[in-house]
Amino acid sequence: MNTAEFAPLRTERLTLRPLRAEDAPALHRLINDWEVVRWLSRVPFPYSRELADEWIASTHKRLAEGSAWHLAIVGQDGDTEVLVGCVGLTREPDTRRAELGYWIGRRFWGHGVAAEAAGRLARWGLANLDLDSIFAHALEDNGRSAGVLRRIGLRETGKGEVQFLARGARLPVTLFEGGREDLTAPVPLPETFVAEPPPDAKPMLLVAACALIDPDGRVLLARRPEGKPMAGLWEFPGGKLDPGETPEDALIRELKEELGIDVSAACLAPFTFASHDAGRFHLLMPLYLCRRWEGAITAREGQALAWVKPQKLSEYAMPPADKPLVALLRDFL
């Protein structure tokens, strides 16, 4: 991916976009400040103007490699774009974790910018990259940064030491980490149930799912988009039943809404089901197979789609309810 292919991330007040060569003067003015650099582990001080140019160029290379996403945090002053700071995710090699880091120019402190930018990028990373968790650290006496990390949903996981380049020493830090359950919205309690539960029993939610199978025997998976519970996980298309709907009716509706295809009930073959304790409720999910539909499959909700060979299904991170279905589907196909 090059910088032109990366779609800027937006919040209520900010835009997170790849850095540009013309950002270097403003970046240098903001970060060449001891009150900023003293809290950052990997930044030298003084910070030269040439170093700003070199670092911006390096961010383009790492974005293209898919190893790090270092972005400018920009706001608007009327019609003028203003650089506020930077935020980044760096993938940890050979794991499904990434490190979150950020800095904000001193003149913009105290306005909630750090949490707004860091939270947005962390949630985007979990939804769009093959990650299961985000981790970070804050210098022990940097209560402001620790507060930001807690505010976006990271949990304190312990203590450690990190080399701080500008200070020339290893210093004590507080470690933080969080996954989807920490940084994204929780699964809401269902509004409609299969039956009214008895007192003290968990409500039961009925969800229908469909394994669409193409002529090559591949199965379609959809990635839950940012903003939904369990964002970033891959699942079989489908959704909750509306009141009065049968599973077949729900799938016909959901496949039209999510993928833009028309499916008839006669083409939906019941295959198996999942029964899963989701914490606050119990999930029952019948899985149907479908090999025939009308129309071209389109990601109408902005979700990523993947056609996957049955033997490769287990390589995709899925919600707990979908995982038990994979072995059955693989053996059948």
Binding residues for 8-oxo-dGTP, as ranges, are 224, 235-238
Question: What are the DSSP calls for 86-144, one per residue?
Answer: EEEEEEPTTSSEEEEEEEE-GGGTTSSHHHHHHHHHHHHHHHHSS-SEEEEEEETT-HH
E strand residue ranges, the chain: 9-10, 15-18, 68-77, 80-91, 97-104, 133-139, 155-164, 169-179, 204-212, 219-223, 234-235, 238-240, 269-277, 282-290, 305-308
Task: Give the DSSP letter of residue 14.
Answer: -
Task: Give the DSSP letter of residue 263.
Answer: -
**Alpha-carbon distance 89 to 70, whole Å?**
6
Cis? peptide before 319, omega within 30° of 0 = no
**Alpha-carbon distance 304 to 130, whole Å?**
12
Where is the binding site, in residues?
224, 235-238, 258
Residue located via tokens 């203590």: 159
Q: Are 223 and 131 in contact (CB under 8 A)?
A: no
Where is the binding site for Mg(2+), in residues?
238, 258
Q: Are 17 and 59 in contact (CB under 8 A)?
A: no
| Helix, strand, coil % in the chain, rounded to nearest 5 | 30, 30, 40
